[in-house]
Structure 1
Amino acid sequence: MQVHLKKYTLPLKHTFSISRESHDFQDTMIASLSLNGKTGYGEATSNPYYKITTQSMMDEINAISSEIEAYEFTKPEIFHTFLVNKGLSNFAICALDLAAHDLYGKLLGKPLYEIWGTSIEKYPISNYTIGIAPIDVMLAKMQEMPWPIYKIKLGTSNDVAIVRELRKHTNAIFRIDANCAWTAEETIINAPLLKELGVQFLEQPLKADDWFGMEEVMHHSVLPVIADESCIVASDVEKCALHFSGVNIKLTKCGGLTPALRMIKKAKELGISVMVGCMTESTVGISAIAQLIPQLDYVDMDGALLLKSDIATGVHIEPDGKVIFPKLAGSGVQLLD
């Protein structure tokens, strides 16, 4: 099995800001795995919060590239175990696991959702994310991209006022993501005000390890709260079920589709809602996420929509939220260069 890695710098349409950082570009790594004339593609983006760079991922993978090339590939799940045993970071594993799943589907001639026994006749609509900015800039972004559901990034000194102003200009569903910037008291106070403004749920309002605070929020918030930074790997799901209404699973954080499928199953067993989110990936990563949507309650897969230019073709999202799946098997991905 041949392995190939390439770094890209993805330009964003607009400066993207959350409570802890801002950026105009997103660095990403594409991993390709080739076997029997078929090539699968996977992706993992850099992330300063988790101290991951494209170079660090490439260094990890290059260190075992000869072992990967000698590996006798059968199923992605078995390959995932091999990668875990090699001690790679979850981000590096994610890129390879996504490539392995895409390759597996292409070898079988079937899309992944079909291999998993799911149907794309019914699925949740992805939100479109509005990063923190002056209100007029946030409003302009909404008007540029009319959408049925917006995720609004908050973590400022006037969060409720921002939502109140944005609400004047759209009837779309709002989701709020504070990216760990609020306290439990702020969350409990803000929740009823935001509920009146048509907010569906809150995502990760408190710091990732503030379990005591989240217990207070769970007892007093009038809005559901979804875990993001508090839910990284499969073992986090059970703990999050005691402190959140649901979990937002990120493929890069957990290590790809293989653990994500386990996390989805566990969350459903525990009776909490399931969301999968993105990390501003290109169409490579987004197409992998899209294979999961029949199994989800919510999805945030707008990463490629936030880009000024893309590097691949694959799953496409229409302005009304409809997802167009390509005829190509696996994740349906092809690189443009």
Structure 2
Amino acid sequence: MKLDRRKFIGSGGLLAGGACLLPLFNTCNSGKEGAESNYSGLGLKLSFEPYNLQLKHVFTIASFSRTTTPVMLVKIEWGGFVGYGEASMPPYLGESHETATKFLSGLRLNQFTDPFRLNEILSYVDRFADGNCAAKASVDIALHDLIGKIVNKPWFKIWGYNQEDTPITTFTIGIDKPNVVTEKVKEASPYKMLKVKIGRGNDEEMINTIRKVTDVPLCVDVNQGWKDRQEALDKIHWLKEQGVVFVEQPMDKYDLDTMAWLTQHSPLPTIADEGVQRLADVPKLKGAYSGINIKLMKCTGMREAHKMLNVARALGMKVMIGCMTETSCGLSAAAQLSPMVDWADLDGNLLISNDPFKGVTVKDGKVILPSRQGIGVSR
């Protein structure tokens, strides 16, 4: 039976939105009414500041290297409560301090006096200008954090998730010389699974170097680095023999026919990363990939990420929750979804040396959600 994508998106979006909103209002009406009676008429106050993350090591993938990541740190204040958000903007995605400043400066959140009108506020933010997904995510995260603090609940509880169901997180090993890779792997010894960047022509060297140090399960991220589908399939068969669990974005994100062929023949799951951004992309990838990697900075934040998770599950696809290089603010927001995913790649805060927040942690490789309200961060 052929799927009517328009009907599915409509019902999937409704289902996902309902899953997000019903627990919130069923659980928190009394808090909302109390807050409104005390602070009615007060508009949301948005403020932001640019910040640069310093990476502990040079970060190299198939197409570039970098040592810093620009981010925008955001606050939304209302009635004595403060919600924190973040936009992480690796340059290859086209956002910057300048674009985020322009976008955020134009928003008029003070027109909204009720932070619980989540869909209305975030729809306004999304329509305000095209693109700017990370900047939009910073507002989304801060608003979720604010609401969670008002009702005194963390978001994993608002969504009805079990704090104990969080997965292990991968730790990322970027492309580098064998001696540097060896040191990075030794530093990552507490982690139960490693994510290895490949796709620059030294794939076997990277994997063999790591296997001299550890036998933990691996996943690989090719970042569209492979060009020939038969060669890609041969590599995947070899990678399976080396203990690799799945392959992320092996081919060009626009070549869905090649990806569908590769996924059909692959002995390992294939996961879309660059090939998926927002909710509307998900149904198009059914059959082309085994699953999707959801990142808040690409999909405009927690609201849409939650919908994407539900739609992917309805399509029978695997789900991974990922990140950019981020502070513990962005990571803690993404981690609220982690009890419901197959895999997590939530190590972006572990790769930097100047994290201004405290939030989600990792113990013996497992994601540990803080019990603080909202997204669970303090500054």
Q: Is the 8 A contact 1:160 1:193 kept in 2?
A: no
* 2:375 is the counterpart of 1:334: no
For residues 254 and 157 of structure 2, the distance between their equivalents in structure 1, rounded to whole angstroms, comes to: 37
Q: How does 1:1-337 map to 2 (within 5 A)?
A: 1-64=44-107, 67-72=108-113, 73-87=115-129, 89-146=132-189, 147-183=191-227, 184-318=229-363, 320-335=364-379
Map Cα deviations across residues 66-109 of structure 1 (whole Å, 9 max, x no partner). x2122222243332112122225222110100000000100100
Q: Is the 8 A contact 1:75 1:104 kept in 2?
A: no
For residues 154 and 243 of structure 2, the distance between their equivalents in structure 1, rounded to whole angstroms, comes to: 36
The residue type paired with residue 121 of structure 2 is F
5+ unaligned residues in a row in structure 2: which ranges?
1-43
Q: Is the 8 A contact 2:58 2:65 kept in 1?
A: yes
Report the count of equivalent residues: 332
Q: What TM-score, normalized by structure 1, do the two folds share?
A: 0.96
Map Cα deviations across residues 180-202 of structure 1 (whole Å, 9 max, x no partner). 11022331110110000000000
* 1:256 Cα deviation after fit: 0.4
* 1:327 Cα deviation after fit: 3.5
Q: Is the 8 A contact 1:131 1:153 kept in 2?
A: yes
Residue aligned with 1:34, SS: strand
Map Cα deviations across residues 218-260 of structure 1 (whole Å, 9 max, x no partner). 1222111000001011011111122000000111111101110
5+ unaligned residues in a row in structure 1: which ranges?
none
The residue type paired with residue 4 of structure 1 is S
Residue aligned with 2:95, SS: coil
Residue aligned with 2:279, SS: coil
For residues 295 and 76 of structure 1, the distance between their equivalents in structure 2, rounded to whole angstroms, comes to: 22
Question: What fraction of aligned residue pairs are identical, expressed as a percent?
Answer: 36
* 1:38 Cα deviation after fit: 0.9
Q: What TM-score, normalized by structure 2, do the two folds share?
A: 0.85
The residue type paired with residue 177 of structure 1 is D
Q: Is the 8 A contact 2:175 2:206 kept in 1?
A: no
Q: Is the 8 A contact 2:167 2:366 kept in 1?
A: no
For residues 84 and 271 of structure 1, the distance between their equivalents in structure 2, rounded to whole angstroms, comes to: 28
For residues 268 and 367 of structure 2, the distance between their equivalents in structure 1, rounded to whole angstroms, comes to: 28
* 1:22 Cα deviation after fit: 0.7
| Cα distance change on mapping 1:165 and 1:334 into 2, 3 Å | same
* 1:303 Cα deviation after fit: 0.5
Q: Residue in 1 aligned with 2:36?
A: none
The residue type paired with residue 226 of structure 1 is I
Residue aligned with 1:333, SS: coil
Residue aligned with 2:282, SS: helix
For residues 51 and 11 of structure 1, the distance between their equivalents in structure 2, rounded to whole angstroms, comes to: 19
Task: Name which one, 1 or 2, has greater alpha-carbon Rg.
Answer: 2
Deviates more, 1:271-280 or 1:179-188: 179-188
By percentage of residues, which structure has more strand?
1
For residues 247 and 133 of structure 2, the distance between their equivalents in structure 1, rounded to whole angstroms, comes to: 26
By percentage of residues, which structure has more helix?
2
Map Cα deviations across residues 119-145 of structure 1 (whole Å, 9 max, x no partner). 111121110000010122111101012
For residues 168 and 272 of structure 1, the distance between their equivalents in structure 2, rounded to whole angstroms, comes to: 33
